[in-house]
Amino acid sequence: MINPITAVWPGRPYPRGAYWDGEGVNFAIFSEHAEKVELCLFDTKGKTEVQRIELKECSDMIWHCYLPEARPGLLYGLRVHGPYCPEEGHRFNPHKLLIEPYAKDIVGTPRWSDAHFGYSIGSKHEDLSFNRKDNASVMPKCRVVDQSFNWGNDQPPDIHWHNMVIYELHVKGFTMQHPDIPAKFRGTYAGLAMAPAIEHLKSLGVTTVELLPVHTFLDDRYLVEQGLRNYWGYNSIAFLAPDSRYSASGEISEFKTMVKALHKAGIEVILDVVYNHTAEGNHLGPTLSFRGLDNASYYRLTGDNPRYNMDYTGCGNTLDMQQSCVLQLLMDSLRYWVLDMHVDGFRFDLASALAREFHEVNQLGTFFDTIRQDPVLSTIKLIAEPWDLGEGGYQVGNFPLGWAEWNDKYRDCIRSYWKGDGGLLGELAQRLTGSSDLYERSGRKPHASINFINAHDGFTLHDLVTYDGKHNEANQEDNRDGNDNNRSWNCGVEGETDDPEINTLRARQKRNLLATLMFSQGVPMLVAGDEMGRTQQGNNNAYCQDNAISWLNWDLKPQDKDLLEFTQRIIKLRKEHPLLRRRYFFQGRPIRGGEVKDLIWLNPDGAEMSDEDWNQAFSRCLGVHMVGDTLRETDERGRRLLDNNLLLLINAHHEEIAFTLPEFDEHNRWDVLLDTFDNTGTPEASRYKVGQAYPVQGRSLVLLKQGKIS
């Protein structure tokens, strides 16, 4: 039992949430339409409500009090009184214990029952009915935290955009089966901070990890009832609290320790954040937090009938960026993760939904303006998933300065090209060189393009070359879920096979895709496990598979080890050659009065591509000559960067093509750096004279550098 609180002071309306100042705890809760707000205190196990305190002070719609006797560790929740009039957008129900939006620690997960719903499940009046069942015993509880932490000399790695290699991973899935991490730490923040995990990232050459959602999220009721989980976590309910299911210790300091360890290894931490919707779903969803606090203030409701939510996310609701309380919550959340948790940036899920001010997506809207003027948020890494599910939501290339974007045009083009589709050379050239058609006109640089072949959503790299169609039966939706437009190719047989020719081709296709990714301008993003052949058995929507389907398998076969070594090699090549990670777009013309173009597109004869060559639908082979002397870029200390001339030859045709090696200057030889036809990437012959024909094998990629024969 805890001692009852005997002193309740007026407190202050800021900072929001529960704030321990070293002497007591201030509580400040926003609700514009509430009539009464109660703070409910619980015993140390969170099972029994031991005291209820009314917040009698209300300043500018902020209900507040100060408890001088309260201490960190105190468990609490909210009950909010007000009108229950769904037709007017109000859904107050004091029988529902609510999660406080600014809670920094959440204890427990909900045990699903009808008590979580503000209306009576099964009533003929649906959500217009009123449910008086109390849900406190089966609700998670908020916990007051002491935010102090010894960060020591922790500093952000501050990796320049053009030097980044992003690695998208799931905190649990990455270490859940790692044999060198103690069992009690597998699947946790602590596990990710351990040497075996960090050593893998370092040996691979990763600069930045992008963590799938770690904000406290809920498993949907329908998934739990089917024995499934919301594994990916795109179902947030508390935007300042790290999910405790990934914590071995149950303390938020574990997350901070993980960040500190990654920073010490020179690795940035970016969070995938879901600010576009919450876990409360549509008008028939549960009442867990925002809906019971002030539904009409937090959510976008339909103008002609506020009983219903506007849904631009496909998840039943959309947070209302037009409301200052929502905008402030998001900004406070972002600043908290930067200032208190030391993360280095964010990837925004369905970011177009955040830009909707009325109905249309407004790229110069309040959300972007607020971030751009913020002295903290304007300096960090900002990455948009530049679409949502509403009309006009697809906004690739349209986000403002300071933002990078997931470039799905890159993904689709590279997949289609290596699958063997024709007529793609023109678009391929754009994607290889940073997608200037999307980003240059707005003043952005190649790093605005986050290039990826695969992401958590869709096939793994291995499955992309192993399956023509999705195989999502494990999701228990009769294989109806997931994307049908995968641009995948199974190389002749659906699924796994013992055919050595098909497996050889699949291995080469994986090398082709990875090498293309690493040798393209822009920022490459690799998905955890793709570097060592991870499979989801053809499942392209494994969002609900918290099991071996999604977890990384560290028991590597010989071919998996070969792929890992190959991936390490191509990342190393990218880092060694600044031509492969330019800060500025190629111009395709002589630079500053020089005589040599910085980029020359070549046909297999070694001649510059003509209009006719570009328009040949059957053509699947292209050469890219990148001229090192024209680089004109400097390092962080202003020293000019130098590089060899590089030649990239790509052939998606199924037959060998003899490619004449060009001669443009005094250099008279080409040295082979990489050839994906060989499983190690190293061909038998490694030196060729200019004018000599290089045999680019069917479905393979070659990288060469130019030098002189002494």
In angstroms, rounded to a whole number, what is the distance separating the alpha carbons of residues 608 and 623? 9
In angstroms, rounded to a whole number, what is the distance separating the alpha carbons of residues 73 and 85? 36
Amino acid at 521: Q
Alpha helices in 139-178 (DSSP H): 171-175
> What are the DSSP E strand ranges found in 436-487?
449-452
The DSSP 8-state label assigned to residue 11 in this structure reads -
What value does the CA radius of gyration of the chain take, rounded to a whole number of Å?
28
Catalytic residues, by residue number, are 349, 385
Q: Are 53 and 65 in contact (CB under 8 A)?
A: yes
In angstroms, rounded to a whole number, what is the distance separating the alpha carbons of residues 492 and 269? 40
Q: How far is CA 155 from the centre of its chain?
A: 23
Q: Is omega for the bond preceding 375 within 30 degrees of 0, making it cis? A: no
Amino acid at 265: A
Q: 60-70: string of b/e by CB count within 10 Å (b at 16+)?
A: ebbbbbbbeeb
In terms of DSSP bridges, do strands 49-54 and 84-85 run parallel, antiparallel, or are they unpaired? unpaired
Residue of 526, 434, 516, 482 lying closest to 703 (CA atoms): 516
- What is the arrangement of strands in the sheet containing 700-707, beginning at the earlier edge strand? 599-602, 621-626, 646-651, 700-707, 669-675, 687-689
Which residue bears the tokens 């790290």?
A: 242
What's the token pair of residue 17?
A: 């949430």
Q: Would you tell me how many other CB atoms lie within 10 Å of the CB of residue 25?
A: 23
What's the token pair of residue 185?
A: 């730490």
Backbone phi and psi for residue 210, each to the nearest 5 degrees, phi listed first = -110, 110
| HSE (side-chain half, CA atoms, 13 Å) at 279 | 27
Angle at Cα 91 formed by Cα 85 and Cα 94, nearest 5°?
A: 115
